[in-house]
Structure 1
């Protein structure tokens, strides 16, 4: 059976690319397609020597740096990729990858990271954060997002089977496309993490510093708790905002290597996570190090952190609102609790390993597209 794997674009080795890596491991004979490929040489190992087939966007002016600005052309670009020779098409999609054209004798499985977030329920948040709430440019962007929504719904009809990366995203798929989706959490490199030794007296937050991650909110909360120490790892547009809010008990380390991040995860008393994520890999990585998680109780965290049922199996607790008071109250509840078992945290994280992902995906694919 000829197999094609379709990805949005290849620019960095991050969460969705790690899904593609496992799909390529599972189907080493598959060909890979993408809108564009600008992966740096030091991040190409997961492709296994493949040269992806790309669209016309690859050759547009300044595409290497500004390819995301060509988003309005990406639906057309996806539709120009010729997949007619393939029997099984697997798309890894958070924007346009699922829009490839397929025929009635082909099976199209979409592993959906999310319907286009900034075109659907997060549109207003995206426009506000981008300063596009009024003016001519704002109305042009709104019109483009309207067009993207129409195209997104239409192309959902070309997908035979959806697989969602969390139950949270399965609900979004149901609302946006009117389709049911199996749930398969994305792969986490649990083997790359290990239980640490004794916990030290600090909390850790680690993430890209972009608005929806709410990193300044965590800094502000710990600024109100001078007796609690926070170490924060990450860089991005909100770094200076975090620096302005930081007090002496808050250490901002900026971008750090994987080894430094893992070391802090192993030693931290707890990991603080304030984002509403589709899934959220870092809370799983923290648990793989035996570190419990204090998380905002929405989105994927509800599926990766255990805070109900047998107390001996708890791996963290939730706060109900994205505000300073809620985070402070959660930290105080964490301090007042009976503690968490690092082994329970590790066992929970192991549910999301690479082998588990590949095994479950293969089971679903064999059900959807029997040989």
Structure 2
């Protein structure tokens, strides 16, 4: 007996983020599965997608929307509802749209979070231009209606963390099984030093590393402010986003922002770090585990998905508030701590891609058999 025909779905492939890394892990778990999405811009996401069967919606013909997917918000409900997938089981990686794709088979929603712009709007928007909030407020009733209808389609919900499981219950009234995503970084792969950092600060002092999209709720400005008062330490920020220009305009000399670096350079940045700084209210948050894979501890906000991945004193420590004072105090305290780097690495091994793939295959098999497959 042959197994089910599996397809993968994702909201949009226009970013370099943890959710996109999860889609790549899904693709490795189900080789050859087509990947359906609303928008796909190869230049803005991971290059591995170029070798995979990505099938974007007709909305993808509009270049501006591929490059600035937030402009597509009013069009995404209709575009998502128009996606139809011919498969026995669709595994949808979603934080807002792919759970509304249609299929003649069964849909499993792997939820990174119910739509932040609907259910966590204040946290998500932060300091956005004045017109954004009124525009979102005007669209809110229609978007909420669409999202609530779409949430009925999945046969099963999977949550990436405890906090997201609870959000799914609150937003949709659906129970969800927790399947932690993997860190997919290969700590044994080659590393490449970053030439732009030559001559930056004391080479005998390891940098601290923050890997994040530069969005308001990520609290990157607070981390930069913390290091402004730590002139003997260095902070390397890796990421891009709407706040980049503003942050670069007032950057202290002991902080650097880089975007578009290679995976080999990112591995170097992790391996050479004193600690990973994790400042945001994350649904799960892969960067602590990616750092842990190199034996590097994490200084994390005591909130969200970090509560699932950071064990105080084992692979990292917590600070209580995402402000400069709290982050700065955590950095200073960590300078005196000696970590068991082998123990830190072993913690990361619990979140392997092999375990993730096995859990997804089991979920797909169960849903398929329940449908009579």
Name the TM-score, length of structure 1 as normaliser: 0.84
**Once the two structures are superposed, what CA deviation does each residue of 1:276-328 show, in whole Å capped at 9, x if it has no partner?**
11111221111111111111111111111111xxx5xx111000111122122
Aligned-partner Cα distance in 2 for 1:129–1:240: 14
State the Cα deviation string for residues 85-113 of structure 1 (Å, max 9, x = none): 4321221111111112356xx32111111
Q: Does the 8 Å CA contact 1:223/1:245 hold for their aligned counterparts? A: no
Partner SS, residue 261 of structure 1: helix
> In the superposition, relative to structure 1, how do residues 272 and 34 fare at CA in structure 2: closer, same or farther (>3 Å)?
closer
**2:33 is the counterpart of 1:30:** yes
Question: Could you say which residue in structure 2 is the equivalent of 1:305?
Answer: 310
Q: Residues 46-85 of structure 1 correspond to what in structure 2 (within 5 A)?
A: 46=49, 48-52=51-55, 54-60=56-62, 62-83=64-85, 85=86
**Partner-residue secondary structure (3-state), 1:163:** strand
Is 2:151 the partner of 1:156?
A: yes
Query: Is the Cα–Cα contact under 8 Å of residues 195 and 289 in structure 1 kept in the other structure?
Result: no
- Aligned partners of 2:159 and 2:177 also within 8 Å: yes
Q: Once the 2 structures are TM-superposed, how far is the Cα of residue 170 of structure 1 from its aligned partner?
A: 1.0
Relative distance call for 1:23 and 1:257 in structure 2 (3 A) is closer
1:273–1:296: 8 Å Cα contact kept in structure 2?
yes
Tell me which of 23, 48, 56 is aligned to 1:20: 23
Once the two structures are overlaid, the 10-residue window that deviates more, 350-359 or 54-63, is: 54-63
**CA contact under 8 A between 2:300 and 2:317: conserved in structure 1?**
yes
Gap runs ≥5 in structure 2 = 192-203
Q: Which of 251, 254, 260 is 2:255 aligned to?
A: 251
The number of equivalent residue pairs is 355
Gaps of 5+ in 1: none
The answer on whether the counterparts of 1:220 and 1:245 sit within 8 Å (CA) in structure 2 is no
**CA distance, structure 2, for counterparts of residue 76 and residue 238 of structure 1:** 29
Q: Is the 8 A contact 1:120 1:149 kept in 2?
A: no
Give the distance between the partners of 2:84 and 2:23, measured in 1 at CA.
20
Alignment-derived partner of residue 218 in structure 1: 223
Aligned position for 1:263: 268
Per the normalisation by structure 2, the TM-score is 0.84
Q: Secondary structure of the equivalent of 1:302?
A: helix
State yes or no: 1:348 paired with 2:347.
yes
Cα deviation for residue 347 of structure 1 reads 0.8
For the 8 Å contact 2:10–2:94, the answer to whether it is kept is: yes
Q: Distance in 2 between matches of 1:88 and 1:189?
A: 24
What root-mean-square deviation, in Å, do the aligned CA atoms of Structure 1 and Structure 2 show? Answer: 2.9
The whole-number CA distance in structure 1 between the counterparts of 2:43 and 2:231 is: 42
Residue number among 169, 188, 191 corresponding to 2:164 in the alignment: 169
